[in-house]
């Protein structure tokens, strides 16, 4: 993976290379293989005119959708592969976008929740994996986690099975 250049210094992002995780699946009596990818939002933040300068832009996603390098997100991104490996033993919450989920981790040093937003889908028919997980974004919550507004959680292993089996994932109404 090509490093990001920030303030004239190359910042490697190889730790966010695609990876695979295994997830136990009792109903299928086997493990599910999940391809994992990481989006640039794991180490960048939104460009805001007046706060950032145009020379800070490291990614342009679309016209007027620019991203700047975020040193805090970048440092935390080194924890992402291990945290994602722990997903099969964790609970996650649904976001308001319904197709995305959030995995909230309490970090010892920062004392704020680290929210990892991801999308989980069935893999393409010709893929070796069963599912595809994309970490869309990950950052420290500014004023506490939104999880209190998302009281319902689901074990990741159940979510993975339901998505693979094309079953509805139901959460209680808000």
User: What pLDDT, on the 0 to 100 scale, is given for residue 137?
Assistant: 96
**Cβ atoms 11, 1 nearer than 8 A:** no
User: What pLDDT, on the 0 to 100 scale, is given for residue 146?
Assistant: 59
Identify which has the larger pLDDT, 173 or 57. 57
- Write out pLDDT tens, residues 88-102: 999 999 887 777 899
- Gap between the Cα atoms of 116 and 83, Å rounded: 9
Residues 26-49 have a mean pLDDT of 95
Torsion of CA 141, 145, 147, 149, to 10 degrees: -110
In sequence order, the 6+-apart residues with CB closer than 8 A to the CB of 21 are: 33, 34, 36, 84, 85, 87, 88, 133
pTM higher than the cut 0.95: no
Identify any residues that bridge with 120 across adjacent strands, giving them in sequence order.
Answer: 133
């Amino acid at each position: 993976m090509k490093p990001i250049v920030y303030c004239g210094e190359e910042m490697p992002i190889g730790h966010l290379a695609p990876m695979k995780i295994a997830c136990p699946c009792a109903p299928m009596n086997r493990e599910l293989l999940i391809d994992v990818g990481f989006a640039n939002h794991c180490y960048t933040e939104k460009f805001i005119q007046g706060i950032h300068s145009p020379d800070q832009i490291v990614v342009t996603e679309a016209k007027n959708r620019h991203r700047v390098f975020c040193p805090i997100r970048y440092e935390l991104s080194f924890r992402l592969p291990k945290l994602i490996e722990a997903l099969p033993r964790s609970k996650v919450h649904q976001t308001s976008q319904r197709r995305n989920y959030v995995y909230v981790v309490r970090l010892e040093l920062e004392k704020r929740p680290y929210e990892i937003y991801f999308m989980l889908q069935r893999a393409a028919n010709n893929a070796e994996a069963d599912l595809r997980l994309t970490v869309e974004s990950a950052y420290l919550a500014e004023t506490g986690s939104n999880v209190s507004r998302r009281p319902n959680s689901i074990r990741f292993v159940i979510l993975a099975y339901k998505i693979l089996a094309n079953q509805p994932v139901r959460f209680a109404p808000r």
